[in-house]
Structures are given as structure tokens and as C-alpha cells.
Amino acid sequence: MPDFSQKELGQYLLQSLNMALGSLIQGETSYTNSFTIKILEHGFVFIPRLPAGYLIDDDLYQKIFLIANAALYPRYTLLKQNATFFMALDTEDIHIQRGLFFPWKKGISERLVIPDLETFSSNQPEHTLPIMKSLTIDYNKITHMAIAGNSGSGKSYTLTYFLSLLKNMSKLIIVDPKFDTPSRWARKNKVAVIHPQQNRSKSDFVSEINETLSDSLNVIQKRQEILYDNPEHTFEHLTIVIDEVLALSEGVNKTIKDSFFSLLSQIALLGRATKVHLLLVSQRFDHTSIPISVREQLNVLIQIGNVSKKTVQFLFPDLDPEGIVIPIGKGTGLIQIIDNEHPYQVLPLLCPTYYTKEGIL
């Protein structure tokens, strides 16, 4: 795919905006000097010339996003913002001292295809989690993770991928309410798993989980004491994996459920500095599945399957997904990583496709 020069790309984008903005800005165009654009390395700036006969508001920003994202695909992927992104410009001309910034990344999201998951996971650099061809995250910078998606969207397949990588960098505690894929993976990899037993009530099962969470909280407190004396001390990662969280919180004795929520909240709030992580999987993450305080501590958010305003409202409450180009297929959706290396924007996600020597799903 030949590269456009900045000038050619700017002209193409201007023409696209001139033709499509239409009535939203009352027919004003770059030809009448009403606005221009500036191409930067990490995005472009829409520069209105003020005073203008149109409103510089969120509606305009989102409309420009829709036009430009379609026009630039697949050379660039615009990164969707929750609200208008203003940028101050280096000029003394008051008419053009501000612009609307649209950050992008070059190219589009591309799926990893892994011929042998066991070999692939063993050969990764320390604490590295590859997500897509152009996206890798450092587990040292992850606080807690969540994977959401409707039934059949590929959650279990994606969870197995993460478990296969995490076993080489973290101690794992696995909770599997459905006694399904995570339990089979745990048996194959000799990892302990908590799952329902015959002739035991659901409340009894959640009580057992609460005991394990309480033990993990004790680990956090002991590690905090060590950090108090030695702030530079590094710990082994401990990851508490809970599949189908929603299945745990429904139909359980209120006292036991309250204890479960309280323990989750404490681990979510205190685990960051002590390398204790939550990896939560659920069809949805509303207030009945996890406490809001837990959701606020999640810094890797993955939504798989059907993406709409309704499905993203819990993990991405401020996001309108309109205009984000999400490929069709299993294991596709959205991802947001909130750390000091990645922008806060939401990206289209294609989960890795992998193969194993033995069938474990």
C-alpha cells in the first residue's frame, strides 16, 4: 500500500470533510476558509476559523470522527474519544488558536495466529502479554482485567489464551463456577481450581471462594508490611481468575454475597502495589455481578462479541461505539488498556487464534 505524502493525505481528508459535513456546518467549507486541517504524526487536527457560523461542540466532533474514520480506513484507525478533544495551537492568531484533535494509529488491528500455543507462551519475554500484532501489554503494569461478552462470543477461548501465558509469570488461583473450560485447562496444567462439588449448596461454594479470597487478602497485607520497610521489593505475581462472576452473585445467601463483594473490593483496591491481580470474566459487569469499586480499578477492559451502546455500558460507560470499525468474526470486540504506555482510547480487538497439541476446549 503506497504511502500518501502529508500534503496528499491532508487534501484527501479535506475533500472528504467538505463533501460530507454538509448541513451540519451550514455549507461552510475549507474553500471559504471556514476551516482547515493539519496532519500530525499521531493524528490530525480540525482547525475551525472563528468566529464561525456553526457550533464547535461534541456533535461536530463525533460527526468528523465518523467521516474521517471511514475515509482513512484501513490506512489509519482513529481512536474514539469519550468527548471532544481540544488542542491549543502554537499561534498568536486568535482566530485559529484551537483545534479538534483526532488521534490515530497507523493501520488496523490485526489478529495474531499462533500455530503452537505452548511453544509461543514459553518463548515470550518476561511479563509480556501479546494481544494483537501491534499491541502488547506489560503484566507489571496491569492492575486488574475484565473480559465481558455474550454466550458463544469466545470468552472461554480468550481466557484459555491468557491462562496459558500467565502460568509462566504468575501464581494462579482459578475459580470456575461452571466446572468447564478453566477446570480442564487447570487439570492439564496442574493448577488448583475451585469448582462446585456434588451435594453442596451454592452458598457453601461461594463460602469456600470467600475463604480463598480472604487468604489472598492476608497475602496482600503481609506484602504491604514488607513494602513499608523496603519499597523497592518485588513480589511474584498472584492472579485470581474468576470465570462467570455473574453466576456467583446470583441466588446466594445475602450475607455470603456481601462478604464476597467486600473481599473483591478490598483486593481490587489494595492489590496494585503488591502484585495481586483479579482477572474477571462475565457476560456483563453490572452492579449485580461486581461492586462498582471493583469496576473502577480495572485497567484492562475487553468486550467480546456483540458491540452496541447497550453491551458496552458497563465496561465503557462513557463510550458511544458508533463509527468504530469492528471486524466480523468470533473473538472480536473492543479493548482498552489504561496505563502510562497506552492511550486511554478504545481499540478494535481481534483476539488471538491459536492451536494446541492436545484439544483442551
Q: Is the pLDDT of residue 115 over 80?
A: yes
pLDDT of residue 251: 81
Number of H helices, E strands in the chain: 9, 17
pLDDT of residue 329: 81
> Residue type at 349?
L
Cα angle 45, 48, 53 (rounded to 5 degrees) comes to 150
Q: Is the pLDDT of residue 270 over 80?
A: yes
In 3-state terms, what secondary structure has residue 310?
coil
CA–chain centroid gap for 257, Å, is: 27
What is the distance between the alpha carbons of residues 216 and 220, in angstroms, rounded to a whole number? 6
In 3-state terms, what secondary structure has residue 355?
coil
Q: Is the pLDDT of residue 353 over 70?
A: yes
pLDDT confidence of 18, banded at 50, 70, 90? very high
Q: Which helix (H) or strand (E) holds 281?
A: strand 276-282
What is the distance between the alpha carbons of residues 199 and 160, in angstroms, rounded to a whole number? 28
pLDDT of residue 63: 94
- In 3D, which of 19, 53, 32, 43 has the Cα closest to residue 99? 43
Q: Is the pLDDT of residue 359 over 60?
A: no
What is the distance between the alpha carbons of residues 186 and 344, in angstroms, rounded to a whole number? 33
pLDDT of residue 2: 58
pLDDT of residue 68: 96
Percent of the chain with pLDDT over 90: 77
Given a contact cutoff of 8 angstroms between Cβ atoms, the answer to whether 337 and 143 are in contact is no
Q: Is the pLDDT of residue 281 over 90?
A: yes
pLDDT of residue 360: 44
Mean pLDDT of the region 255-276: 95
pLDDT of residue 159: 96
Please name the CATH architecture into which domain 113-354 falls: 3-Layer(aba) Sandwich (3.40)
What is the distance between the alpha carbons of residues 182 and 156, in angstroms, rounded to a whole number? 8
What is the distance between the alpha carbons of residues 276 and 212, in angstroms, rounded to a whole number? 13
Sequence-ordered list of residues with C-beta below 8 angstroms from that of 158, at least 6 positions apart, any chain: 147, 302, 304, 331, 351
Report pTM: 0.90
pLDDT, tens digit (0-9, with 9 covering 90-100), for 68-113: 999 999 999 999 988 899 999 999 999 999 999 999 999 999 999 9
Task: Look over the chain and give the mean of its residue pLDDT values, rounded to a whole number.
Answer: 92
Q: Is the pLDDT of residue 215 over 50?
A: yes
Domains of the chain, residue spans:
6-106, 113-354
pLDDT, tens digit (0-9, with 9 covering 90-100), for 26-77: 778 888 889 999 999 999 999 999 998 889 999 999 999 999 999 999 999 9
